[in-house]
Structure 1
Amino acid sequence: MGKELERDLGLFAVIAISIGAMIGSGIFILPALALKMAGPAVILAYLAAGLLVLPAALSKAEMATAMPEAGGTYIFIERGMGPLLGTIAGLGTWFSLSFKGALALVGGVPYLVVLFDLPVKPVALGLAAFLVAVNMLGAKQTGRLQVGIVAAMLAALVWFVGGGAGSIEAAQYEGFFAKGAGGLFAATGLVFVSYAGVTKIASVAEEVENPDRNIPLGILGSLGFTTLLYVLIVFVVVGIVPGEALSGSLTPMADAAEVALAQPGVVIVVVAAVLALVSTANAGILSSSRYPLAMSRDKLMPDSLSTVSDRFNTPTRAISLTGVVMLALIAFVPILDIAKLASAFQILVFVFINVAVVAFREGDVEDYDPAFESPLYPWTQAFGAVGGLALLTQMGTVALLGSAAIIAGSAVWYVVYVRDRIDREGVARDAVRRSMGRRVVERTRSAVDGAGGYEVLVPVTEDTSEEREAALLGVAADLVRQGSGTVRVVQFDEVPDQTPLEQASATQSPADIRFEERTDRLAADVDVPVEYGEIVSHDTKHAVVNFADHHDTDVIVLERDSTPRRFGLLRNDFEWVLDHAPCDVLAVDDRGFDAVGVLGIVTDRGPYDPLKVEVANALAAQVGAEIELLYPVSPSATPERRETLRDYHAELESVCSVPVESRLVETDGDALADLADATHAVDIAVVGDDGGQVRRTLWSRSHEQIVDESETPSIQVYPHRSRRPGPVGKLLERLAF
């Protein structure tokens, strides 16, 4: 067991870290930029941004009291939505926090330049190195430093508001909404990042004493206070500095102090700005360094990053890595542009946070027992998620592309490094799997309850043997026997194009006579209406489809074409019929239907197609057989996944009218081969088309491989396209299952 971190951060330290992570570039740099977008309504932009952050703050406070561990956002998203999104959230948030910390230092130095002639980068590098060293010494020292910094900074800002209020001119607020709702919304998206630090305290939750109380109070208290302070500060700044002078300034607070408070005020504001931006960087190092620590513990990053110093009781390697990244950014990277990209990703992470709460609650996780629960669930989370996505649209193309790049890079890291090292999944996936399973079960129930009264077409040719026709007719009769349908056995004769159809149809060959005689004989053995006939055409596949369409056929039962088509590029008549049939199609591979006691329904991945269950239930009911559900699982499948699959099978059992057994087929490597082996224990394997026309054109079909490698007679089920989920629905089903 790895060494744990000491809980020595009290409520005031929690509030100080949260406020310190917020008050920085958001108020000392962004007001001038946001003024360009919204005009004086920038005041409301700060208020609106605070309201949009509230759902994520509530959600994170809830999850932090349920899982007070180092890592914050990463922990919550990874546990709730799985390792892939956890990796994206962890790496992306760590990356963006490092950027924001570097931006805070670079953004703070221009305020010093107001008073002193200093080089920006060397000073920023020196401050970064100092803060990294402080963080190495311990969270308590960091928390104490943060409390001191924040206290001095807040005193200066409150003095600024009080002293500047007397210089406000009402004329400055004229044309308050001149930029319109679009400008206000765009400004809200820009200043949203001013509040991103509100939830950062959750990343050091493992070091907070009495987390059930201090984390919610710290997060919500700091958000409320900071929102009020932001609105008051921006109200004063806009009211005392002419818009043309303020717009685009890199030091808007100093400009306002120069107008209202003279030189002493400028000095105090500069001190406050430097303290604020240093505290932002300090809080950024403290919180962001815990992401590599938490991810390392979960095997998403190298083990060395989870090392906790025996001397300082801090994750020194994680802090060192974060410090190196920040120093490199300050020295070599244009921070402002990249920080905007990282801020856009922060908005996306806030969306993830809201969704993660829904995943935990709807997933009914046994160990999820938060001491604090977000009010107005799930409307609070829905508002936060939708609002965050709406704000993303205002961040600009570069920011969106940058966020996409961060997501792609994190996903590549997951595939290359993480995927083979873990065997867990998030509760959201299990919740989605259960939800999709219930929907599929309801579709299956409707299909099974509505079964019967089929109009079935059995197409044969001159080359079809009596044994083959008997097998096809037997399957068709079992389907029809449930209702008042009809079986039509039709022999399709194909003649050369140069032969007139009238001439060909007027000539009765010995083969035609044999077809009529054997069909009469076979029809006598089944107690369902059987009609038979003969169709002469120049193209059999078109004739079969046209006949089925003209006679309102529900199911075509035909002989399986076993011609190997590994890549399906040369499609034959069988393929064409599957793609153009106006109804469902069953392809029978008769390897000797003897006594049938068990029908196995097979799926290689995803839920069972309702038509497969409908057909298997109808056939089993007629021959007195039972059904066995065969589903592949890997040895590393989580207990939650196995339990969900068993529950899904139990729900399907309640749908069927015959006995049903559940079998999870253990597979380690070649799932299709293991499924083929599993079918040896059943008398008929009912398999299905898992792809559709596009998949058949590009790849070998998995169900064909199962049938080819099995010695068991099979029935392949091809639902009509109207009964299949669309590409997106199918993809979601396969990902969830």
Structure 2
Amino acid sequence: MKELERDLGLPSVLAISIGAMIGSGIFILPALALEIAGPAVILAYALAGLLVVPAALSKSEMATAMPEAGGTYIYIERGMGPLLGTIAGVGTWFSLSFKGALALVGGVPYLLLLFDLPLKPVALGLAGVLILINVVGAKQTGRLQVAIVVVMLAALGWFAAGSAPSVQSANYVNFFADGLGGLLAATGLVFVSYAGVTKVASIAEEVEDPGRNIPLGILGSLAFTTVLYVAIVAVLVGVTDPGSVAGSLTPVAVAAESTLGQTGVVIVILAAILALISTANAGILSSSRYPFAMSRDNLVPPSFSTVSERFGTPVNSITLTGAVLLVLIAFVPILDIAKLASAFQILVFGLINLAVVAFREGSAEYEPEFTSPLYPWVQVFGAITGVLLLTQMGTVALVGAVVITIGSIGWYLFYVRPRVSREGAATDAVRRRVGRNVLTETRSTVDDTHREVLVALTKNLDENRERSLVALAADLVRPDDGRVVVVRFEEVPDQAPLTENMTVQSPSDISYETRIESLSTELDIDIEADEIVSHDTKHAIVNFAGNRGVDTIVAEHEPLRLRSRLFGDPIDWVVRHAPCDVLLVDNLGYERPAHVALSGDGGPYPPLSVNVAEAIAAANDGDISLWYPAERKDTAQYKRTIDDYQSELSEMLSVPVRAKSIRADGGRPSNSDVVVRRGTDERMRNILFDDRPVFPSPGCTTITVYPRESRRPRFAQRLLERLTF
């Protein structure tokens, strides 16, 4: 396998990064930003440079951890997963396309100062030429890029030095006339001026000593360019009459004419044309590689990664990018192009900051030579300020960012998701965090006691099923020498008054109490029998549990059918209103269960379910099987995380534990004696999450566990579990 020679030193890195930034940011945007913020545009450039620092630090860190050829999309896709990778790829592609269009639409007016030509046709013609150049494979060499940077810096330096003596302090009066809103809006607009600061990361594989030169190159070029921008704009504002430059298509030429005469104008024009054509060509070159890279990752159709045998270039990707560029030039006003370019760049820089957090907190191998200081506060600051800037940039920018994001999500759901099974470091980081939180809850729940359990008998049961419920309750309270209260609830019609005659015991009642007393002796547990007559059994159960202060209710109940889920079931009311935990038993017998299965859907097992399973297994000298779906096509990251979680859970419990994959379609019959599963108390959550056992027909008693209100996971927590597990 061929490797790229690491022959780019710090000067080359600085030249590449500075050259990628200087262009539209100084030759076009100052006039547009002046209309928004007035003289405060000077501060807007400084503030924009400051707000780029978090993304610059984050990109520097990731580039030293993964010093290989690639771009922003690669880091975000690997860190945040295919979904956010799709958003970042599309967002970056649009941002670079908009930047290329901005360079051409903004650069042509400088050319028209020398030649009397129509603006848009010339811009479209230049765009067509550049697209054709990219298709046939010609590209600028490194030496040409360095030469252009030198010419630009020389011209701008001469302009600043020659114009500085002509600065009029009166031009800075009413510096903050447009207020904080105007300053932030202008900051958002000129943000794209610094978009090229992280471009050097895409050639990280060719940088010598990347751990040192990449951060120094990125941060050094950012500092230099920020100072240069602020100085040039300060001079530009100071040497022109207030408001005369605002809205001009050639602001630097206007300023040069007032201080350096026609010679200064010609030099500025040449520098501007060189810079903006170079920026436009680089924009087409780099933006067309995003569909190419995304195609190789199966995020867009494979045709975009096809390389022409004749030209050796990705013609389809370049053609699509070129078509977008031509449409932008022909139909979108320059101010909207600038806003959209900045909006998408802000969005991508925010994702860059989040990607670093994902790599740091996830389990993926990640060993950067350079680490961002003040982690994670710098990244949080960058993400939050990015959102703040977007909200201040006006409707066009905000709607553009939202439309691209929603469109990317739609594309991911309908095209990418069925084809891609990768996941990012962020998903694993969140998954591990969720798993740790559930384990912490489980530790505290495992130590909880069942001092008193109510066995609620709501229908006539045969003696074996009755005994099974009581034996289950006895196993729950046995470790704590607790008590079992067995109550037979009898419901009479509303028309029948509750009289003393109804409290007279029948032979059946006496037989029931005798059986319960004998169970107390047999099971060696304190068991109390009672009978309650009421008009409403469900209210009677909840009232008795509340007045008695029991810890758990055990009742027999068949699994909820679809009709019960949609239209309700009396036991649902008990689950929602009980002041304690509720265990609903699909009763197929309970005789010293030695093998207890804990049914799961691939995510963490609910703490109370773990508690119940351990109590049953410990009382019967048994073991626990951790069931999980066998059909899932999981990533290696997911499997490692689940293995770690199950290992920690096993160490926490006092009984033998083993993991077992179970087929959801049935497969072999279960050899478990009891299955413990999660229950949810809200019908719509049942429909949404479909919390059935992984193994739908276990052929043994199933216990569905419903925790009390204080223990129930919130909707957001369950949704997070579903998304990450």
User: So what's the TM-score if we normalise by structure 1?
Assistant: 0.91
Aligned to 1:556, what secondary structure does the other structure show?
strand
**What's 2:474 paired with?**
477
Larger mean CA deviation between 212-221 and 635-644 belongs to 212-221
**What's 2:690 paired with?**
701
Could you tell me how far 1:407 is from its partner in structure 2? 1.4
C-alpha change, 1:372 and 1:634, in structure 2 (3 Å) is farther
Alpha carbon RMSD of aligned pairs, Å? 2.8
Could you tell me how far 1:683 is from its partner in structure 2? 1.7
**What's 2:197 paired with?**
198
Report percent identity of matched pairs: 61
Return the alpha-carbon distance in structure 1 between the equivalents of residues 213 and 41 of structure 2.
32
**What's 1:628 paired with?**
625
Larger mean CA deviation between 73-82 and 592-601 belongs to 592-601
Could you tell me how far 1:700 is from its partner in structure 2? 8.2
Match of 1:600 among 591, 597, 600: 597
Contact 1:689–1:701 (CA<8 Å) still a contact in 2? no
**What's 1:55 paired with?**
54
Whether 1:688 aligns to 2:652 is no
**What's 1:162 paired with?**
161
Contact 2:299–2:416 (CA<8 Å) still a contact in 1? yes
**What's 1:571 paired with?**
568
Could you tell me how far 1:180 is from its partner in structure 2? 3.9
**What's 1:733 paired with?**
721
C-alpha change, 1:691 and 1:554, in structure 2 (3 Å) is closer
**What's 2:74 paired with?**
75
Larger mean CA deviation between 436-445 and 7-16 belongs to 7-16
Contact 1:458–1:556 (CA<8 Å) still a contact in 2? yes
C-alpha change, 1:269 and 1:563, in structure 2 (3 Å) is closer
Contact 2:32–2:335 (CA<8 Å) still a contact in 1? no
Whether 1:41 aligns to 2:31 is no
Whether 1:388 aligns to 2:386 is yes
Could you tell me how far 1:604 is from its partner in structure 2? 1.3
Whether 1:638 aligns to 2:635 is yes
Return the alpha-carbon distance in structure 2 between the equivalents of residues 306 and 210 of structure 1.
31
Contact 1:617–1:657 (CA<8 Å) still a contact in 2? yes
Return the alpha-carbon distance in structure 2 between the equivalents of residues 662 and 706 of structure 1.
13
> Where do 1:659-678 residues align within 5 Å?
659-665=656-662, 672-673=664-665, 677=667
**What's 1:411 paired with?**
409
Could you tell me how far 1:188 is from its partner in structure 2? 2.1
Contact 1:83–1:424 (CA<8 Å) still a contact in 2? yes
Aligned to 1:245, what secondary structure does the other structure show?
coil
Contact 1:679–1:710 (CA<8 Å) still a contact in 2? yes
> Where do 1:118-129 residues align within 5 Å?
118-129=117-128
**What's 1:401 paired with?**
399
User: So what's the TM-score if we normalise by structure 2?
Assistant: 0.93
Encode CA deviations 1:194-239: one digit per residue, 9 max, x unaligned. Answer: 2122113333545667755654444233212211110101111121
Could you tell me how far 1:10 is from its partner in structure 2? 6.9
Could you tell me how far 1:164 is from its partner in structure 2? 1.3
C-alpha change, 1:546 and 1:396, in structure 2 (3 Å) is farther
Encode CA deviations 1:235-259: one digit per residue, 9 max, x unaligned. Answer: 1112122333233333322332232
Whether 1:437 aligns to 2:435 is yes
**What's 2:246 paired with?**
247
Specify the code of the residue in structure 2 equivalent to 1:517. T
**What's 1:711 paired with?**
699
Contact 2:492–2:534 (CA<8 Å) still a contact in 1? yes
> Where do 1:503-518 residues align within 5 Å?
503=500, 505-518=502-515
> Where do 1:183-194 residues align within 5 Å?
183-194=182-193
Larger mean CA deviation between 265-274 and 98-107 belongs to 265-274
**What's 2:100 paired with?**
101
> Where do 1:5-44 residues align within 5 Å?
14-44=13-43
C-alpha change, 1:700 and 1:637, in structure 2 (3 Å) is closer
C-alpha change, 1:331 and 1:630, in structure 2 (3 Å) is same
Encode CA deviations 1:536-575: one digit per residue, 9 max, x unaligned. Answer: 2111111111221222222111002346225722212122
**What's 1:724 paired with?**
712
Return the alpha-carbon distance in structure 2 between the equivalents of residues 725 and 536 of structure 1.
34
Whether 1:428 aligns to 2:426 is yes
Structure 2: give runs of 5+ residues left out of the alignment: none
Specify the code of the residue in structure 2 equivalent to 1:439. N
Specify the code of the residue in structure 2 equivalent to 1:351. G
Return the alpha-carbon distance in structure 2 between the equivalents of residues 423 and 139 of structure 1.
37
Aligned to 1:422, what secondary structure does the other structure show?
coil
Aligned to 1:558, what secondary structure does the other structure show?
strand
Contact 1:689–1:718 (CA<8 Å) still a contact in 2? yes
C-alpha change, 1:558 and 1:214, in structure 2 (3 Å) is same
Contact 1:474–1:526 (CA<8 Å) still a contact in 2? yes
Could you tell me how far 1:178 is from its partner in structure 2? 4.0
Contact 1:460–1:491 (CA<8 Å) still a contact in 2? yes
Encode CA deviations 1:33-61: one digit per residue, 9 max, x unaligned. Answer: 33344332321221121111112112112
Could you tell me how far 1:350 is from its partner in structure 2? 0.9
C-alpha change, 1:618 and 1:493, in structure 2 (3 Å) is same
Match of 1:468 among 460, 465, 469: 465
Could you tell me how far 1:617 is from its partner in structure 2? 0.8
Return the alpha-carbon distance in structure 2 between the equivalents of residues 151 and 178 of structure 1.
37
Specify the code of the residue in structure 1 equivalent to 2:419. R
Match of 2:615 among 615, 618, 624: 618
Aligned to 2:120, what secondary structure does the other structure show?
helix
Could you tell me how far 1:89 is from its partner in structure 2? 0.8
Could you tell me how far 1:12 is from its partner in structure 2? 5.6
